[in-house]
Amino acid sequence: QEEANLAARTRDDLRCPVVVIMGHVDTGKTKLLDKIRKTNVQEGEAGGITQQIGATYFEKKTLLAQTARLNETEKFDLTLPGMLVIDTPGHESFTNLRSRGSSLCDVAILVVDLMHGLEQQTIESLHMLRNRGTPFVVALNKVDRCYDWKTCKDSPIRDALKVQPEGTMQEFRSRASDAKLQLQEQGVNSNIYWEMGEDDWENSDFVPLVPTSAITGEGVQDILLLLCQISQRKLWRRLMWCANLQCTVLEVKAIDGLGMTVDLLVVNGYLREGDKAVFCTLDGPIVTEIRGLLTPPPSREMRIKSEYIHHKEIKGALGVKVIGNGLEKVMAGTPVLVVGPDDEVEDIKAEVMSDLTKLQEKLSTD
Ligand code: GDP
């Protein structure tokens, strides 16, 4: 089995990258995701979201469809099975995310409002990403707010820039260059991504900038394709599919009709209905059977009560809602393990709790 696992681990067998979307409030994080999902969470489709962390799974076919026009020229061979995007809604404090989603994420989108430049939470996110060594791209969002912007709905950003009047281009260049300077003040070298030289791409500290509009859609193709390219070209070792369960609790939540549920981020490995899972609580580890594994349909947000799809088995990376007994005291941010046929329950319990201790130590040093 182990050998089969190893053999299966090749560059062509990558899991979905976990992408986290960060930035100051009102920079357009939700709107950007809405644009990719073709939903309208930002204007209240969510109807009173009370959960803090969202997860949306995009299938490979969605990524292909959403990058088709740009890829006519880029001709990138997309092999990823999909992409999982983690986000926190508008006014959630960013520290919540810090201790949960971000430590597991592979790559990030840092959203900056082109009209406002770097703001407080953007700078905090920036330093956190740097400290963790997480690669990221910066979306210079709201490019459509440059004076006299000519909308080119959903088009690649370079096509859109080509048709802008000179005055609009001047404003764009000046604002983009301000953002670049502000990033530099934070110790971050960056450039508009198509102006980056080969050396810049080789330099893992160099950050690509992508002008976007989450309203009219320019540049959204670019940011998606860029994330896929970074994942396949730079993160493939990290993304090699592996059957060992790597899983964290995002949130614990009572849901009408389902009882107490936990939302998990399964980065790697499988979870199956009937698995004996071990969770951390303040009172120590608990062992409980997974009674249900639910996900929203692809391209739908996990927080939003939709028609959940029931699964017998899921494979990482995926966000999944788990039903089971005794989940009330499970702690967000803690790891989850499953008792395998050859495992001793007590060993797994000890392992889960030691992971928790390590996690706490790590967080206190951040
Ligand atoms: P979040 O707090 O980062 O999730 O920001 P939202 O997605 O809620 O957006 C904040 C506000 O900015 C909303 O009124 C959006 O309609 C608006 N907005 C977001 N993206 C854009 C954009 O690209 N262009 C323009 N003109 N407005 C935007």
Query: Ligand 1: which of 42, 45, 212 to mutate, most ligand atoms within 8 Å of CB?
Result: 42
Q: Crossing angle, helix 29-37 and helix 220-234, to 10 degrees?
A: 90
- 26, 32, 222: residue to mutate for ligand 1 pocket, most atoms within 8 A of CB: 26
156 CB within 6 A, ligand 1: no
Q: What integer is the mean pLDDT of 73-85?
A: 95
Q: Which two tokens stand for residue 233?
A: 């070209």
Instruction: Give the Å distances, CA to CA, from 314 to 99, 204, 272, 318.
Output: 24, 32, 6, 8
Q: With a 6 A CB cut-off, is 21 part of the ligand 1 pocket?
A: no
Regarding the beta carbon of 214 and ligand 1, being less than 6 Å apart is answered yes
Please indicate whether residue 326, judged by its CB atom, sits closer than 6 Å to ligand 1.
no
Question: What spacing in Å lies between the alpha carbon of 215 and ligand 1's midpoint?
Answer: 8
In whole angstroms, give the CA distance from residue 109 to residue 176.
Answer: 17
Please report which confidence band the pLDDT of residue 352 belongs to, taking 50, 70 and 90 as the band edges: confident
CB of 26 sitting under 6 A from ligand 1: yes
Query: Which pLDDT belongs to residue 188?
Result: 97
Give the pLDDT score at 92.
47
Predicted confidence (pLDDT) per residue in 219-262, tens digit:
999 999 999 999 999 999 999 988 889 998 888 888 888 889 99
Evaluate: CB of 125 within 6 angstroms of ligand 1. Answer: no
User: From the alpha carbon of 25, which atom of ligand 1 is closest?
Assistant: 2
Over the stretch 20-43, which tens digit does the pLDDT of each residue have?
A: 898 888 899 989 999 998 877 666
Asked if pLDDT for residue 357 goes beyond 80, the answer is: no
* SS3 of residue 359 by DSSP: helix
User: Minimal CA–CA distance to 143: which of 300, 21, 20, 35?
Assistant: 35
Cα 116 to middle of ligand 1, angstroms: 12
pTM of the model: 0.89
Ligand 1 atom 10 nearest Cα: 26
Cis peptide leading into residue 317 (ω within 30°): yes
Under 8 Å between Cβ of 293 and 319:
no
Which residues fall within 8 angstroms of residue 148, CB to CB, at 6 or more apart? 164, 165, 167, 168
| C-alpha R_g of the chain | 21
Residue pLDDT, tens place only, 102-120: 567 899 999 999 999 999 9
Judge contact between 351 and 338, C-beta under 8 A: no
Mean pLDDT computed over 330-346: 91
ipTM of the complex as predicted: 0.99
